[in-house]
Amino acid sequence: MARKLENHSLGFTSQILSTEKNHPDVHGAMNTPIYRSAAFEFPNSVAIAKAFQNQEEVASHTYSRITNPTVEALENKIKAISQGENVMLFSSGMAAISNTFMAICYAGCNIVTSPHLFGNTFALFQFTLASFGVEVRFVNTDHLDEIEAAIDENTVAFFCEVMTNPHLEIADLTQIKPMLARHNVPLIVDTTVIPWGAFEAFRWGVDIEVVSTTKYVSGGATSLGGAIVDYGTFDWSHNKRLAQVSNTAQFSPFMFKIKREIARNFGACMDPDSAYAQILGLETLQLRYERMSASAYELAQFLESLPEVVKATYPKLESFPYKALSDQFFNGNPGAMLTFSLKSREACFALMDRLQLIRRATNLFDNRTLIIHPESTIYGTFTEEMKQVMGIDPTLIRLSVGLEEVADLKADIAQALK
């Protein structure tokens, strides 16, 4: 599946470029072909029966809602760089997150998490899952005792984002993980804002990683996608829903449940065209990430120096409250997201309206630099009370720094602030 060198382990990008599909291409195509086919044919009835009963040596494909060769090629590459035991791709980041919780939740269970979450994840927990009898317990993840106090025998997961958006908070996983292990609670982390290579989830005890591949992986907002990476580290016999699966599963009970039941029944599969775009995106991930991170740091320093800017927040700034954790977790490259605040909401709007190069758009980690005012957009339909719970500040602006020359970005901000 992957090319190897004797006595030498391949680096991040070499692994991406050399990990292939499970079946060699008949024409020797260098790029992974787009297998845009709903179904796959078999030579005889025994072969198709074996495929349906999972009795093959190397699994073949039957129907693209279940597996597809192009999608599988991307899964293999992500498996190689994440060192996960099992990887599954979905139609979006939200599909990866919702399938994860659909697999482990039951009526009467609870999820312990921070209220500082991506908006749709917050709504999934608070509204969608709540109507099926799932309770969400919001805690301040800076306080270990508060997290521990919220856990009981029906806690199915502690969930957090590796760095929250737009608050840029980092939970100290080195403290949280041992506490969770004592209570048999899995650590599920959304690592969308710090991709593989910069944050090595397995090193910090993450059991299940969820990612919106729409962001860094897609290679410039080409397509939607989501991934679940199962590190195979959690004993699921403690979960009331998965205890039974644990006895019969041929691999991790969590991923077994997802692959053989949940994902099939919800049908939020990644399509082969998106998988193709995201394979190309993954090939340049490290290059883009390093450039974006370097530009974000330079821009954050620039913003911090401007008299109009009340506060700039970026993990490498000395003023950043979680700097030590960022240095520890993110290999010196804490990504392309930064925030800054101006004196008022009006000042934020005025700045945004005068920008010429930077785009007013939602999304993160496009090749273009994007700016958004979270309070009036992403959180615009939330009540004032919920905005308070979620800590949404009307003077805050979020930037996702792209690949433009950083001098051009500085010039655009400088002229817009005039």
Ligand X SMILES: *Cc1c(COP(=O)(O)O)cnc(C)c1O
Residues within the interface to ligand X (CB under 6 A):
92-94, 118, 121, 161, 165, 190, 192-193, 212, 214-215, 224, 226, 364
Nearest to ligand X of 64, 191 (CB atom): 191
Nearest CA to 278 among 29, 1, 22, 31? 31
From the CB of 192, what's the least distance to ligand X, in Å?
Answer: 4
Name, in order, each residue with C-beta under 8 angstroms of 40's C-beta and a sequence gap of 6 or more: 60, 61, 62, 63
From the CB of 185, what's the least distance to ligand X, in Å?
Answer: 21
Of all residues in the shown chain, the one whose CB is closest to ligand X is 93
From the CB of 99, what's the least distance to ligand X, in Å?
Answer: 12
Nearest to ligand X of 89, 151 (CB atom): 89
Nearest to ligand X of 32, 212 (CB atom): 212
Confirm if 153 and 106 have CB atoms less than 8 A apart: no
Nearest to ligand X of 285, 309 (CB atom): 285
Q: From the CA atom positions of the chain, what is the Rg in Å?
A: 22
Nearest to ligand X of 16, 189 (CB atom): 189
Nearest to ligand X of 129, 364 (CB atom): 364
From the CB of 211, what's the least distance to ligand X, in Å?
Answer: 8
Nearest to ligand X of 61, 98 (CB atom): 98
From the CB of 101, what's the least distance to ligand X, in Å?
Answer: 13
From the CB of 198, what's the least distance to ligand X, in Å?
Answer: 15
Nearest to ligand X of 216, 236 (CB atom): 216
From the CB of 161, what's the least distance to ligand X, in Å?
Answer: 5
From the CB of 213, what's the least distance to ligand X, in Å?
Answer: 7
Nearest to ligand X of 92, 339 (CB atom): 92
From the CB of 341, what's the least distance to ligand X, in Å?
Answer: 20
CB-facing half-sphere around the CA of 13: CA atoms within 13 A: 10
